[in-house]
Chains A and B, each alone.
Chain A
Amino acid sequence: MAFVAGQPVTAVVQRIEIRKLRHGDNLILGFSIGGGIDQDPAQNPYSEDKTDKGIYVTRVSEGGPAEVAGLQIGDKIMQVNGWDMTMVTHDQARKRLTKKNEDVVRLLVTRKSLQQAIRQSLH
């Protein structure tokens, strides 16, 4: 998933729809994110390219809505409900995911195994 600045990013994505769970006063999704354009990309354990400042899934809680929907640890989130996640700050990403008036978030995520699966199916 290397990208060249200024060129459009091409990736194989999986569409994941997560229903938020009401837990007391909050709506939770059941995973943790890391990364962002204001963070240090070298510390990201899940990215192939250590200059990639995208948003990655760092933890998925057991039995939570994200796990149920098929989100895996190490996924890079490309879009949330149509909003781009490849060039956002960490806080903006958090805000896009935790909007109080949305019950459902539709993510486009990508992972290395998807690329490999597509390549294998083509050959």
Chain B
Amino acid sequence: MLLKNTDPWFVFKIDQLKNHAANRLTIPTGLGKTIDKQPFGSWKARPKSINNWKSFYLPVCKESATMDTESTYSGYSYYSGRSKSSHRHGERSRDRQRSRNKDSSRSEKSVTIQTPPAEPLLGNESIRGDETVQDDNWGETTTAITGTSEHSISQEDIARITKDVDDTGLDCTRHLGIAIAAVLGILVFLTPIAFMVLPQVLWREVLEPCGTVCEGLFISVAFKLLILLIGTWALFFRKPKAQMPRVFVFRALLMVLIFVFVVSYWLFYGVRILDSRDPNYQGIVQYAVSLVDALLFIHYLAIVLLELRQLQPMFTVKVTRSTDGESHFYTLGLLSIQRAALVILENYYKDFTVHNPALLTAAKSRAAKHMAGLKVYNVDGPGNNAAGQSRAMIAAAARRRDSSHNELYYEEAEHDRRVRKRRARLVVAVEEAFTHIRRLQDDEQQKAPGEVMDPLNAAQSIFPSMARALQKYLRTTRQQHYHTMESILQHLAFCVTNNMTPKAFLERYLNPGPTLQYDKNRWLASQWTLSSEEAVTNGLKDGLVFTLKCLDFSLIVVVKKIPFIKLSEEFVDPKSHKFVLRLQSETSV
């Protein structure tokens, strides 16, 4: 199920005449999350007086109006993909921050930093409720919204989307599978014991006495059952880490096999032994032992099919992210497509840098400029020559003198320079900040001169000197929404506790890391959709292409077979390494 751009988020834009606090009520109930963290930049521009609120906390619609004037397709086409309210809140605060960027660049104020982090959260939330009251430009901005009203949706759509998202039917199927497996397991485990106990219970008088061989078999049955129990626990008793679209073929096959096997044993037992009341107890016990042996072999088969078969690498997959083209290669063995997708996703969270939509806006604005350049008018009546029109447009665009490459080059050079300058300032500021504290030695415990602090307090005390440089750097590299002030303080306390250098502290901020490094609830996609042209339970094949879609982007996976390698041998005699001086070489000219 994919959410298209008919997105509840747009509902907010239409309903903004109502109270902003009602925003969260119109969110589908499953998704309503309160904001627990504010992005890092917000605390800096705490308004000093109420009059400043207007300039600092602009409402969302005004933000979108400014975005509209910049480029036609800037914010909407991107934000349409989001449905989670947490993402939405993040964006809204990011929008606010961008406006604050513009404002603060116009008037450079001195920073008054107040460390308790809890306050801005409450302050911001209350302010948001008052936005509509304070904003005088309300009437202006609503007209800008209607330009995008083709994205409006009706009330029924909202209800439908709510129902879809809240669908709990998926959980039932997952638990059903586990329940069946558990029942089957218990049945299978108790069967040999039942085989041996039932004759004793039912026809003890007729039964032959159990000799030494028979009792030896009891011991072997007991130990084999114990081994089977431990093996099953090791292999199967794991928390399911994912939910697949289709049934896992091998597991289903094995369960069917076990079921058929046990049923056939019971049939034989019921017909030949129970009905005829066979007195040969040793034979019955040996029958039970053979069942346990066969179960152990099935367990071996399970290990081979489920675990060992896909260990040998046979395919190399290339995974490319659709938004920015970042690619990685992985090797996989013989897996079904859905299991391969699972492995790829696990590696995605570890290897790919976090998806940063803010870095894509430049490309979108350039694309918009290309498209907005030419307009085609149909003067010759209703004859719709679409192909001819598009060809004419392409030809005209090619002939037009386009200097956008020039702009891109200088813009990128300028951006690189700015980033490097800010990075240099940041590194220096952090190094200097780290010199302000030092670890208290054990023998100095008693005679400490100043106050003794725990790591978090120490972090809070050195944080202000580096805060401004860090914030500016994060803003320049468009990472400010990934780090809240609390997270930075905690990271600083962590680094200080573990005696890390300033460079180690900065590593997290200078390079965008993998998605796992950031707050799980906010940045990890919860639902992935696997779309492929072949059935997802088929195995991987050379040249297969499938995509894994989440809300913001998709991962395109191309499978290639590892080529057959012909390795031949060449024997090198260790004594064959001999050297001479080069003779006078003679060249004829």
Contacts and interface: CB of A to CB of B under 8 A. Distances in A.
Decide if A and B are genuine partners.
yes
Interface of A: 28-29, 31-35, 39-40, 43-44, 58-59, 61, 90, 94, 97-98
Contacts, number: 38
Contacts of A35: 584
Interface string B568-589: 0000000000000111111111
A32 B584 contact: no
22 contacts: A28-B588, A31-B588, A32-B588, A33-B586, A33-B588, A33-B589, A34-B584, A34-B586, A35-B584, A39-B584, A40-B581, A40-B583, A43-B583, A43-B584, A44-B584, A59-B586, A61-B588, A90-B585, A90-B587, A94-B587, A97-B589, A98-B589
A28 B587 CA distance: 12
A66 to B, nearest CB: 9
Interface string B262-306: 000000000000000000000000000000000000000000000
A20 to B, nearest CB: 9
Contact of A32 (B581, B582, B583, B587): B587
Interface string B364-400: 0000000000000000000000000000000000000
A28 B584 contact: no
B579 to A, nearest CB: 13
Contacts of A39: 582, 584-585
B585 A34 contact: yes
Nearest to B585: A90
A43 B587 CA distance: 15
Contacts of A44: 584
What are the 4 A-B residue pairs with the smallest beta carbon separation, nearest first? A32-B588, A43-B584, A97-B589, A34-B586
A43 to B, nearest CB: 4
Interface of B: 581-589
A107 to B, nearest CB: 11
Contacts of B586: 32-34, 58-59
A61 B588 CA distance: 9
Contacts of B583: 40, 43
Contact of B587 (A33, A40, A61): A33
A59 B582 CA distance: 20
Contacts of A90: 585, 587
A81 B249 CA distance: 83
A59 B584 CA distance: 13
A62 to B, nearest CB: 13
A43 B583 CA distance: 7
A29 B587 CA distance: 12
A31 to B, nearest CB: 7
Q: Is the interface of A mostly helix, strand, loop or mixed?
A: mixed
Contacts of A28: 588-589
Contacts of B588: 28, 31-33, 59, 61
B348 to A, nearest CB: 54
A61 B586 CA distance: 14
Contacts of B581: 40
A32 B585 contact: no
B582 A94 contact: no
A85 B44 CA distance: 75
Contacts of B585: 34, 39, 90
Contacts of A32: 586-589
Nearest to A44: B584
A39 B586 CA distance: 10
A33 B584 CA distance: 10
A108 to B, nearest CB: 16
Contacts of A59: 586, 588
Contacts of A43: 583-584
Contacts of B589: 28-29, 31-33, 94, 97-98
Given A33-B586, A90-B585, 10 more contacts: A29-B589, A33-B589, A34-B586, A34-B587, A35-B584, A39-B585, A40-B581, A40-B582, A40-B583, A98-B589
Contacts of B582: 39-40
Q: Kindly name the residue among A29, A31, A40 whose own CB sees the greatest number of chain B CB atoms within 10 A.
A: A40
A40 B522 CA distance: 73
B580 to A, nearest CB: 10
A38 B163 CA distance: 85
Contacts of A40: 581-584
A34 B581 CA distance: 15
A58 B584 CA distance: 10
Contacts of A58: 586
A90 B589 CA distance: 12
A106 B340 CA distance: 74
Nearest to B583: A43
Nearest to B584: A43
A31 B588 CA distance: 6
Nearest to A56: B584
Contacts of B584: 34-35, 39-40, 43-44
B585 to A, nearest CB: 6
A31 B583 CA distance: 19
A89 to B, nearest CB: 11
A43 B585 CA distance: 10
B584 to A, nearest CB: 4
Nearest to A26: B589
Q: Kindly name the residue among B581, B582, B586 whose own CB sees the greatest number of chain A CB atoms within 10 A.
A: B586
Nearest to A41: B584
A52 B447 CA distance: 81
A44 B588 CA distance: 16
B71 to A, nearest CB: 59
Q: Kindly name the residue among A28, A29, A90, A97 whose own CB sees the greatest number of chain B CB atoms within 10 A.
A: A90
A65 B588 CA distance: 13
Nearest to A66: B589
Contacts of A34: 584-587
A87 to B, nearest CB: 17
A34 B589 CA distance: 11
A28 B589 CA distance: 6
Contacts of A33: 586-589
Q: Kindly name the residue among B581, B585, B589 whose own CB sees the greatest number of chain A CB atoms within 10 A.
A: B589
A43 B569 CA distance: 40
A59 to B, nearest CB: 7
A14 B582 CA distance: 31
Contacts of B587: 32-34, 90, 94
A54 to B, nearest CB: 12
A12 to B, nearest CB: 24
